[in-house]
Amino acid sequence: MVYRVGLLGLGTVGTGVVQMLQQPQHPLLQAVEIAAVGVRSLDKPRQVRIPPERLTTNLEQIVSDPEIDAVIELMGGLEPARSLILKAIDHGKPVITANKAVIARHGEEIFQAAAQAGVAVLLEAAVGGGIPIVQALQHSLRASRIQAVWGIVNGTTNFILSQMAQQGSSFAEALAQAQARGYAEADPSADVEGWDAADKIAILAGLAFGVAVPREAIPCEGIRNISSTDIRYAREWGYTFKLLAIAQRAAAQGSETVLDVRVHPTLLPVTHPLANVHGVDNAVWVQGDPLGQVVLAGPGAGQGPTASAVVGDLLTLRAHLQTGAYLPNPLWGFFGRAAALLPLAELESEFYVRVLAQDQPGVMGAIGTCFGRHRVSLESITQKECHQEQAEIVILTHTVREADCRQALAEIQQLPQVAAIPSLFRVLR
């Protein structure tokens, strides 16, 4: 029997999905027909051939058409994507989406509606492009008690940091290269400020820990402040910079699980599996009990990998229809169970700090005293280069409370010999 899908959006990924469905690799995809494609403009030249009567600007009609069996949403953005997804669900249609922003912010509403309607919402392409991390966390890894999920889930920033590390480029130069190659958008904020990664870790944390993670509550810091100087010093100590999206169990307080979820540039030992993921690739490191450590890595974006994840979801839908088996929603069962998030001030971490100070006797001592007063133990304090009588002092702390470290730095900033504290980054091992 023909399975009729409606596609919302015919951009890069939508085009890739059409190409894959026009040459199906699996017998279950042979009966899939692209019945309607919703686009913004009918006149735009297309790389794939769609019969003109199947192209429409009326997206509402696609999601309510009784002839359409499933909807694939590839528009991105919050609205009208959210409303169209809800409407498709309301009409009893399963939905496949690559839209991390809408799932991270409106997942609860969408999955609640899907639960009531008894339809599936699949989102493999929303995180990690071609890496099958959603299905893995939903099924294969979930029998273990997951302790931590750390991810490089934004290819643009990983490309920029790789260029800075490998070519010695500045942030601005590396960003310009990312834009020239089409990785970064003209307004690169969503990538470089870490917002895209925060959307993705909200979803991964939900899958790994079975609770809803409020997207707005995730502390998020981007990569604009990383300088090539910091990258060089970090390397001398055996570390590399990565924009990490982190979700891990912080502590059990009574019956409540407290999660430590955050996105920020991180110094990782060069021996860590995530340290060797370069360029636009993504990777997710999962640690669980009795699972141990698993790393999934590969292309995190782009037409082919993302389309492959979307069509993989379509295959899952078809396979379940074939057997009549129950298809659980990935985020099913979250409702009413919002995670408590550890405040960043309570975080215990090692820190890398770079201070610019006058090159005078007693400066290192004064800085060390301020740290000591706030219970910040130091692993190393080193004077690096000196320019125009200004010394660069680089500090690595032991594991300390973030609030203590910041209070010490506020005091250090007030020292008459200190000109600036340009860098403060967290270190993970």
Binding site for ligand HSE (CB under 6 A): 154-156, 191, 196, 300-301
Name the residue nearer to ligand HSE (CB basis): 199 or 260: 199
Closest CA to 288 of 157, 97, 150, 183: 150
In the complex, the smallest distance separating the C-beta of residue 297 from ligand HSE, rounded to whole angstroms, is: 13
* Cβ-closest position to ligand HSE: 156
**CA dist 2 to 28, 30, 34, 40, 267, Å?**
10, 9, 10, 27, 52
In the complex, the smallest distance separating the C-beta of residue 81 from ligand HSE, rounded to whole angstroms, is: 14
Name the residue nearer to ligand HSE (CB basis): 283 or 353: 283
In the complex, the smallest distance separating the C-beta of residue 158 from ligand HSE, rounded to whole angstroms, is: 8
Name the residue nearer to ligand HSE (CB basis): 154 or 266: 154
Pairing type for strands 256-269 and 418-427 reads: parallel
Residue with tokens 């990569």: 223
Q: Which residues contact 225 (CB under 8 A, 6 or more apart)?
A: 265, 422, 423
Closest CA to 234 of 52, 380, 123, 417: 380
In the complex, the smallest distance separating the C-beta of residue 28 from ligand HSE, rounded to whole angstroms, is: 27
CA dihedral 235→236→237→242, nearest 10 degrees, is -10
Name the residue nearer to ligand HSE (CB basis): 200 or 272: 200
Q: Amino acid identity, residue 62?
A: I
Name the residue nearer to ligand HSE (CB basis): 78 or 410: 78
37 touches 10 (CB < 8 A): yes
Catalytic residue flag (residue 87): no
* Rounded (10°) angle between helices 363-373 and 402-414: 140
In the complex, the smallest distance separating the C-beta of residue 133 from ligand HSE, rounded to whole angstroms, is: 13
Closest CA to 241 of 182, 178, 299, 159: 159
The residue from 87, 93, 200, 242 that is catalytic is 200
In the complex, the smallest distance separating the C-beta of residue 308 from ligand HSE, rounded to whole angstroms, is: 14
Q: Which residues contact 195 (CB under 8 A, 6 or more apart)?
A: 189, 220
Q: Give the angle 337-107-93 at the CA atoms, nearest 5°.
A: 125
Name the residue nearer to ligand HSE (CB basis): 13 or 121: 13
| Positions marked active-site | 200
